[in-house]
Chains A and B, each alone.
Chain A
Amino acid sequence: DGGITQSPKYLFRKEGQNVTLSCEQNLNHDAMYWYRQDPGQGLRLIYYSQIVNDFQKGDIAEGYSVSREKKESFPLTVTSAQKNPTAFYLCASSIAAWGSGNTEAFFGQGTRLTVV
C-alpha cells in the first residue's frame, strides 16, 4: 500500500534531550513537509523540502532541524532549543512543489510528542 508512515506514534522526551521523528513515503513524491499542530489549532509549517538534499524553513523552524538525504525520507529533529515541543507533529508529501494540478498534500498519521 502506498502512503506516508510516521514513527513512533507516541514519543516522550526529557527536557534537554534531542529527539528525531521519522517520516517515510513510498508515493514517489518530490515534496515533503513537517507541520506542528497544537490542541484546538490549525497546522503550522516547520520545514519543507522540494527535492533531495534541499530544504527550507517554514513559519516556525526555530528549535527544529531536518535532513533530506533520500527522496523517501524526511526526518525531523526536535532539539533542546525548542522551548515548547509538546505537540502533535504531522508529515506530509505532494507530487511536486511546482507545476499545475494535483497539488494536494497527503498526510501521515502523526507523532504525539510529550516533554516529561
Chain B
Amino acid sequence: EDQVTQSPEALRLQEGESSSLNCSYTVSGLRGLFWYRQDPGKGPEFLFTLYSAGEEKEKERLKATLTKKESFLHITAPKPEDSATYLCAVQARGAGNMLTFGGGTRLMVKP
C-alpha cells in the first residue's frame, strides 16, 4: 500500500527565516511525486512534479528535491504570502494518474 507522511504538521517561521518541509513516501514503483499549495477554503494549486531521484525544481522562493525515499520542499527567505498548507502526493506506476496524498504541512510566516 502506498503511503505518504509529511512533517512537520505545522511550521511557524519569521519572515526571511528559511526552512524545509519533508515528505517521506513508500510506493510500489514511483511514477511521480507532486507538490501542491492549498490556501484555506480553496482547491490545491499545482507547484511541482518530480519524476526521478536527484531531480530538483524551483519556483520563486520554493525548491523541491527528490531522493528514493523522500522529497523536500525548501523555502528560502519566506514571506507572509507563502503561508498556506503544502501537500505532497505520489503516483505509482500501473495506477493510472491516481494520487496518494500526505496529511500536509501548515506553514505560517509571520512578518
Binding site for B on A (CB under 8 A): 4, 6, 31, 33, 35, 40-45, 48, 50, 58, 88, 90, 92, 94, 96-98, 103-110, 112
CB neighbours (8 Å) of B98 from chain A are 33, 45, 48, 58
Main secondary structure on chain A at its contact with chain B?
strand
Query: Quick one: which of A96, A98, A107 contacts B43, CB cutoff 8 A?
Result: A107
Query: Quick one: which of A6, A90, A103 contacts B97, CB cutoff 8 A?
Result: A103
Knowing A31-B96, A45-B98, say if A103 contacts B43 (CB, 8 Å): no
Contact A42 B87 (CB under 8 A): yes
CB neighbours (8 Å) of A98 from chain B are 96-97
The stretch that binds A, out of B13-21, B61-69, B71-79, B101-109, is B101-109
Contact A110 B97 (CB under 8 A): no
Contact B102 A42 (CB under 8 A): yes
Cβ of B22 < 8 Å from any Cβ of A?
A: no
**CA–CA, A88 to B6, complex, Å?**
20
- Which of B36, B46, B99 is the most central at the interface, judged by chain A CB atoms within 10 Å of its CB? B99
